[in-house]
Structure 1
Amino acid sequence: MEQLKRVDWQAWIFTIGLIIFFREASVWVMSQFNHPEIGNLTGLLSLLFVLVIWRRFKKIPARLVDTNNKLMRESGFAFLPVCAGSLIMLVSMGKEIPLFLVVMFISTLIPLWIYAKMAKKWL
C-alpha cells in the first residue's frame, strides 16, 4: 500500500495521455492520406520532434522523464507473448530463417538504435 502513495498518478496520466494523443492524431492524419498504417511511426516521430523543440526553450519536467523511464522499462514485458509466437513461427520456417533474421535486423533493430541515439542526444 505504501508503494501506491509514492506513484505520481498525475504524471502517469499526463504521459500516457500525451502518447495516446500523438498516436491517435497521427493515425487520423495518415488516414486522410490513405496510409493509416504509418500513423504509429509518424506519431512517434512527431512526439520526438515536439519534445526536441520543447527542450530547446524549456526543460522537460523531471516528473515526465521519470514516468517515461518507468513506462519504457515496464512495457518490455508486453512483448513476451509476441516473442513466444515468433519462436513458434521460427521453428516452422526451416531454411528461410536466415533471410527472416536479416529482414528483422534491418527493419527493427537498426531504426530503434538510431531512434535511441537521436533521443539520447536531443532529449
Structure 2
Amino acid sequence: MDDLKKIDWTAWLFMLGLIVLFRETAVWVMTQFHVPELGNLVGLLALLMCLLVYRRFQRIPTRILDTNNTLMKESAFAFLPVCAGSLITLFHMKDIPVFLFIMVVSTLIPLWVYAQMAKKWL
C-alpha cells in the first residue's frame, strides 16, 4: 500500500494526457492527408520536437522525467502479446527472410534512431 502513496499521480496523469493528446492530434492530422497509419510516428516525433524546444528554454521537471522513465520500463510488457502473435505468424509463413527484413527495417532501426536522439537531446 505504501507504493501507491509514493506514486506522483499528477505527473502520471499529465504525462499520459500529453502522450494521448499528441497521438490523437497527429492521427487526426494524418487522416486529413489520407495516411492515418503515420499518426503514431508523427505524434511521437512532434512530442519529441516540442520537448526539445521546451528544453531549450527551461528544464524539464524531474517529476516528468521520472514518470516517463517508469512508463517506458513498464510499457515493455505491452509488447509480449504482439511478440507471441508474431511468432505464431512466423511459423505459418513461407517468406520468413523477407518478413524479418521488413520487421528490422521498419521497427528496430527507427526505434534505435529515436532512442539515440532522445538520449542525446533530452
2:73 matched to which residue of 1?
73
Specify the alignment match of 1:108 in structure 2. 107
Q: Report what 1:41 is aligned to.
A: 41
Distance in 1 (CA, whole Å) between partners of 2:98 and 2:26 is 32
User: After superposition, where does 1:1-20 map in structure 2 within 5 Å?
Assistant: 1-20=1-20
**Whole-Å separation in 1 of the counterparts to 2:34 and 2:84:** 33
Distance 2:22 2:32 in 1: 15
- Return the letter of the residue paired with 1:85: G
Match of 1:118 in 2: 117
Identity %: 65
For residue 25 of structure 2, what is the aligned residue in structure 1?
A: 25
Distance 1:31 1:92 in 2: 33
**CA shift digits 1:49-73 (9 cap, x unpaired):** 0000011110100000000000010
- TM-aligned CA deviation for residue 103 of structure 1: 1.1
Give 1:7 deviation, angstroms.
0.3
Give the letter aligned to residue 89 of structure 1. T
TM-score, length of structure 2 as denominator length = 0.97
Shift of residue 29, structure 1, vs aligned partner: 1.2
Matched pairs, number: 122
Give the secondary structure class of the aligned counterpart of 2:93. helix
Cα shift at 1:81: 0.7
> Deviation of residue 93 (structure 1)?
1.2
Q: What stretches of structure 1 of length at least 5 have no aligned partner?
A: none
Unaligned runs of at least 5 residues, structure 2: none
